[in-house]
Amino acid sequence: MEDLKTTVRGKILQVKDLPTLPQVLDKVTAMVKDPEASTEAIAKVISTDQVLSAKVLKMVNSPIYGFPGRIGSIQHALVLLGFNVVRGIIISTSVFDMMVQVMRGLWEHSLGCATACTIIARRAGFEDPEEYAVAGLLHDLGKVVTAVQLPDLHKTILDTVAAKDLTYFQAERDVMGFGHDRINAWLARHWGLPPNIREAMARHHTPQLAEFYKPMSCVVHIADYLVRLFEFGNSGDDQTAYLRPEALMELKFRMSDLDKVMDEMADQLLEVSDMTF
């Protein structure tokens, strides 16, 4: 099993095989580390990729991030949302085409999860709910990468879901000995994502084990559960997920809070379902 883990990890981390992260992102990441680089200069580099810019602006103006006015430029998006959020959007929209090809319904599930994360984070009174939304948007990226890099293994996982009536996550562990949460951790480290988003991606199934950013892991866990409850999109199976009570306790949520979150979700998911690129 350890050999399989090493093999799988090696194949998955050959991210150069994935047409996911545009070169613009490397440039921009380097610029962010330079204290002399202005928001204007960073925005200019992102704007050189017109398709990407259009996708980012479409995403930042969606109900997911909750800005009532129009965000008209990449620079405006960077000022309002911060680099971590814009970078997360670039990664997710770059992977979007692959999501659509390899896992039907996963993009909708991811958008739904991002929407729910914003609503939950706001209700819990957290600052920067947009960062929680990015963690929601990226929480299933490991599934996409497995499907693209290891299609045979992906097919075995889906067959196991059907044959044994398991969740996708259970089937992954059955087949590989670990799940997309582990793959998320590798990818997030490889791509240098911020530690709070990285931990939420790695711990959204086990938020009680999160060490440093437990609230974010709990928000993504609850969001994932609720989006599945709504049957919005598809994350690889049609099972009911398990909601960890620790996640609700961490956010000091009662069932009445969940009801209110679901009411807001019902309104917003209709708008989000129209978001294709």
Q: Which residue, chain included where needed, has tokens 């497995």?
A: 146
CATH number of the domain to which 178 belongs: 1.10.3210.10
- Asked if the structure places residue 225 within a domain, the reply is yes
- Give the per-residue pLDDT at 145: 85
Q: Classify residue 55: in a domain, yes or no.
A: yes
Tell me whether residue 83 is in a domain.
Answer: yes
pLDDT in tens, 88-143: 998 888 888 888 888 889 999 999 999 999 999 999 999 999 999 999 999 999 99
Read off the amino acid at residue 9.
R
pLDDT score recorded for residue 19 = 44
The answer to whether position 63 is within a domain reads yes
Predicted pLDDT at 17: 53
Place of tokens 């992260």: 21
Q: Is residue 277 part of a domain?
A: no
Res 76: pLDDT: 94
**The dihedral formed by the CA atoms of 243, 247, 252 and 256, expressed in degrees to the nearest 10:** -20
Average pLDDT per consecutive 10 residues, the chain (277 residues; last block may be shorter): 66 55 80 87 90 89 84 92 89 84 91 97 95 95 88 93 94 91 88 91 97 98 96 90 95 96 94 74
Say if CB 202 and CB 188 are below 8 A apart. yes
Q: What range does the domain containing 204 cover? A: 2-272
Report how many domains make up the chain: 1
